Amino acid sequence: MSDIALSAENLSKSFKIAHERNGLVGHRTLYDDLVSLPRRLVARLRRTGKSTSETFWALKDVSLEIEKGEVVGIIGPNGAGKSTLLKILTRITEPTSGTADIYGRVGALLEVGTGFHPDLTGRENVFMNGAILGMSRTEIKSKFDEIVAFAEIEKFLDTPVKRYSSGMYVRLAFAVAAHLEPEILLVDEVLAVGDAGFQKKCLGKMDEVSHREGRTVLFVSHNMAAIRSLCGRALLLQSGRMSFLGETDTAIEQYLRGKRVNGSDFYSDEIINKLEILNIRGERSISFGAGESITISAILSPPYPLYHPRLGFGILNSYSERLTTLHTDFQLKNGWKLDSETQVRVHWRDCKLCPGTYKLMAALYDANQKVRVWDDLATITIEASDYFLTGKLPKTGPQGWFLSDAEWEMTSPRGV
């Protein structure tokens, strides 16, 4: 048990969602209540306005053990239960059933505003948070200058934090959580509020407190590249249940496989009326052999005539890193216009990606003016095949992302 930082057994959290038979949901404004009052009184007299409720399980039967010094990522779609799990572990929320045991002081960065009193200044909140963690005033003072330097908000230290921007709030909150020496650091997606430079700084600090100082970190993020670089293991949550806990690459792969279009579906919205991914036989598919040609077909309906349209499809790996781009700027020799519904097809010949799961994104511009960007259109899976006729293929990630044609020659040096 001495090596365990935290453990959970059959952890569950449920909420009651109230409904009324007249169609009103349990959460209403004062205006809704006043307008509907006569109808609800009549319904009560007729005994036809009985309310009903359903139980929503935000978390269900989650069991895990995290060892001291581990960095564990928590991933999953919105509403999967990631934030609920962290709130239970920080004692902000009580579980409906199950137990959670934590062995050490916890520093947490959850929702913007959590843990700070809005009427206190930044300076006062630093000391208050340290006291909550059980630190003496002397200990807090010894860390104070580091916190201020990291947060980069020295001018506003004596300003009530209710006047801070969300970015300033996060800067100070993370600096406090990371520098006041908690044994366990819990960080939610709230880091996304900060600018790119500060996010990078925070990721570096989390790496430092875990690998150099041996502290435990639980990190919730939709940034798969950050999860990959920081975390030795990852927990995948789906609809409140634990879908996988283990190797980070495997967790990310499973998460992305479940996110998007399956072989019989297609994507559509107000501009892309229909998007399909086709194999060499013209059949809809999301699974292709290594080296196989892929066709991306889209029916576009522009919101207004585009006389200098620029369309690109980006291929990203499972860590959201751009690998290559199919773009009209690069591969289309002739000009075109998009002033009515148009079917566009791009044939990606001999797709030389290593086996794995990849994401498809797109962007549409009129000259240099952005019309629409689609961050996550579909998932493409490349299956292993005997591309080199040797029975072997490189592993995705550690040995690269592309299949490279090469010839080897083995000869004896002269004179031997």
Q: Could you read off the pLDDT of 343-400 as tens digits, one per residue?
A: 999 999 989 998 888 889 999 999 888 898 888 788 888 887 777 888 777 766 667 8
Strand (E) or helix (H) holding 202: helix 196-207
CATH number at residue 342: 2.70.50.60
Are residues 286 and 351 part of one domain? yes
* Cβ proximity of 396 and 252 under 8 Å: no
Is the pLDDT confidence value at 22 over 60?
Answer: no
Higher-pLDDT residue of 11, 266: 11
Same domain as 85, residue 38: no
For residue 12, give the nearest of 46, 83, 62 by alpha carbon: 62
Contact 68, 37 (CB under 8 A): no
pLDDT score at 398:
65
pLDDT exceeding 70 applies to what percent of the chain? Answer: 82
The tens digit of pLDDT for each residue in 210-232 reads 877 888 999 888 777 778 878 88
Are 232 and 85 within one domain?
yes
* Cα-Cα-Cα-Cα dihedral sign, residues 296, 301, 304, 305: positive
Q: Is residue 391 part of a domain?
A: no
Question: Does a structural domain hold residue 302?
Answer: yes
Question: Residue 4: inside a domain, yes or no?
Answer: no
14-28, 234-248, 402-416: lowest mean pLDDT where? 14-28
The range of the structural domain enclosing residue 214 comes to 59-257
Residues 138, 197, single domain; the answer is yes
For 136-172, b/e burial (b = at least 16 CB within 10 A) is eeeebeebbeebbebbebeebbeebbeebeeebbbbb
Q: 257, 281, 299 — which closes off a domain?
A: 257
In a domain, 392, yes or no: no
Query: What average pLDDT does the segment 69-98 reach?
Result: 89
Is residue 150 domain-shared with residue 134, that is, in the same domain? Answer: yes
- Residue 45 in any domain: the answer is yes
Considering the domain architecture, whether residues 107 and 172 belong to the same structural domain is answered as: yes
d(CA 52, CA 72): 39
Same-domain check for residues 197 and 331: no
**Structure confidence at residue 32 (pLDDT):** 60
The pLDDT assigned to 236 comes to 93
Q: Does any domain span residue 232?
A: yes
Strands 216-220 and 71-75: parallel
For the chain, what is the domain count?
Answer: 3
Q: Does 253 lie in the same domain as 111? A: yes
Pairing relationship of beta strands 294-300 and 272-278 according to DSSP bridges: antiparallel
Closest CA to 205 of 171, 156, 247: 171
From CA 236, how far away is CA 355, in angstroms rounded? 22
- First-to-last CA distance in the chain? 63
Q: Among the three residues 257, 284, 315, which one is the final residue of a domain in this structure?
A: 257
More confident of the two residues 101 and 389: 101
70 and 180 within one domain: yes
- Please indicate, yes or no, if residue 345 is contained in any of the structural domains: yes
Q: What is the pLDDT of residue 416?
A: 55
At 49 the pLDDT is: 47
Task: Identify whether residues 290 and 341 lie together within a single domain.
Answer: yes
Residue 398 resides in a domain: no
Q: What is the pTM of this model?
A: 0.58
174 lies in the same domain as 84: yes
Do 304 and 235 lie in a common domain?
A: no
Of 206, 225, 257, which closes a domain? 257
